[in-house]
Amino acid sequence: MNKILLAATVFMMTTVSAFAAPSVQGSTGIINTPSADVMQEGQFSLGYYHLKDGGVGTFNTNITGKLELGVAGFRYDSQANQQNHTYVNAKYGVLPETVLTPGLAIGVEDIANLDKRTFYAAASKALPFGFRIHAGIGNGRYDGMFAALEKTINPVGIITGNNVFPATSLIAEWDGKNMNYGARMAVVPGLKVDVGRRDHQTYFGASFTY
Going from N- to C-terminal start, the domains of the chain cover: 2-209
Give the separation between CA 149 and CA 140, rounded to whole angstroms: 22
Over residues 30-49, the mean pLDDT reads 96
pLDDT at 4 over 50: no
Q: Residues 51-60: what's their mean pLDDT?
A: 94
C-alpha Rg value of the chain to the nearest Å: 16
Full-prediction pTM beyond 0.75?
A: yes
User: Per residue in 94-135, pLDDT tens?
Assistant: 999 999 999 999 999 999 999 899 999 999 999 999 999 999
C-alpha separations of 66 from 50, 141, 144, 163, 170 in Å = 29, 24, 25, 32, 27
Going by the DSSP 8-state scheme, the letter that residue 204 receives in this structure is E
The answer, yes or no, to whether residue 12 has pLDDT greater than 60, is no
Superfamily grouping for domain 2-209: monomeric porin ompg (2.40.160.40)
* Average pLDDT, rounded, for the chain: 88
On the question of pLDDT at 29 being above 50, the answer is yes
Measuring CA to CA, which residue among 45, 73, 49 is closest to residue 59?
45
For the stretch 162-197, pLDDT in tens is 545 678 999 999 999 999 999 999 988 899 999 999
Does 3 have pLDDT greater than 60?
A: no
Positive or negative: CA dihedral 143, 108, 127, 101: negative
- pLDDT the model gives residue 97: 96
Q: Which residue has the higher pLDDT, 164 or 90?
A: 90
